[in-house]
Amino acid sequence: MRRVLVGLLTLLLAGCAAPIAPADSALSLGSTASAAVAAQVRTAKIASIRTTDATKGVITVVGTLTPAPTAGTRIPLHQWIPSLKRWQEVAHGYSSGSSVTITTVQPGSIRTYRIAVGAQAPYAAVVSPMISFKHYVWRGMFKKGLVAAGGAGQPQFTVVPPNEGPRRAEADLLANQGGYVWGEVDSTGCRYVRNWLGNLTDGLVRVSLHNGTTAMTSIRMQQETETWLNYDISGVTRLRLQVADIRSGYGPYVSIDSLLLCTN
């Protein structure tokens, strides 16, 4: 009898232990399925962003998409608009393999960008990490007007009005014999200045650039000549352009066409 009971107990214990194997198998299958789902992830990244035409304000963005979406997939470029506190599409491109190139025309600015890819089974929609970009664009020196002007000998710093010079880049500088004339602009956010100079004086003049009142560079101009005066103005917030008479019969008279490379 004792042997029969032991045999029965052995069978019962074996029966209880048997379901453990399917449970382990289920856990194993569940882990495999989760890993398979987790593996179906697409990534998007802005590989490069740069200003490709500083005159027109063209930005070119190159993005990478892994795995590659369907050829010709529409890929939007988003820009964060601080005033609205939201993302806004400013341009789009179409995928070619795992790459996309997008161009957009923007004014000088410091903005944050990202690209996005819509859902394509088995991949969910995805956006790229954000990237901040300083976009420098050429603009007229007088777009924001003169901050101050002065000189000696009846100085005149006359900016060409918008209806005649919409770029806001042209001005005429005059003073009496022996005098000088200067004008200042706010150059915050700018890193370079480019000046075309036309000397209409009946003699010799000096044209100079200043950081406030501190001279940075200058050039002498002979009678009825033209030249360029260009300079790196990184860190300069008050840019002064000055024309001074060296030797003339009537006083300095110089026409300028000046551009700033700025993010504003």
DSSP string covering 194-213, please? Answer: EEEEEE-SSSEEEEEEEETT
- For 201, residues 6+ apart whose C-beta sits below 8 A from its C-beta are 221, 223, 224, 245, 248, 250, 251, 252, 253, 254
Q: May I ask the CATH class of domain 43-135?
A: mainly beta
pLDDT at position 40 = 83
CATH annotation of 140-262: 2.60.120.680
> If 0-12 CB within 10 Å is exposed, 13-18 middle and 19+ buried, where does residue 136 land?
buried
Model pTM above 0.75: yes
**Domain ranges across the chain:** 43-135, 140-262
Cα 77 to the chain's mean position, in Å?
Answer: 13
- Report which DSSP code applies to 161: P
- For 109, residues 6+ apart whose C-beta sits below 8 A from its C-beta are 135, 263, 264
Kindly state the tokens that stand for 53: 């035409």
| Of 114, 70, 120, nearest in space to 90 by CA | 114
Per-residue tens of pLDDT for the chain, all 264 residues? 444 444 443 433 344 444 433 333 333 434 444 444 455 899 999 999 999 999 999 999 999 999 999 999 999 999 999 999 999 999 999 999 999 999 999 999 999 999 999 999 999 999 999 999 999 999 999 999 999 999 999 999 999 999 999 999 999 999 999 999 999 999 999 999 999 999 999 999 999 999 999 999 999 999 999 999 999 999 999 999 999 999 999 999 999 999 999 999
Report how far residue 133's alpha carbon sits from residue 194's, in angstroms, rounded to the nearest whole number. 23
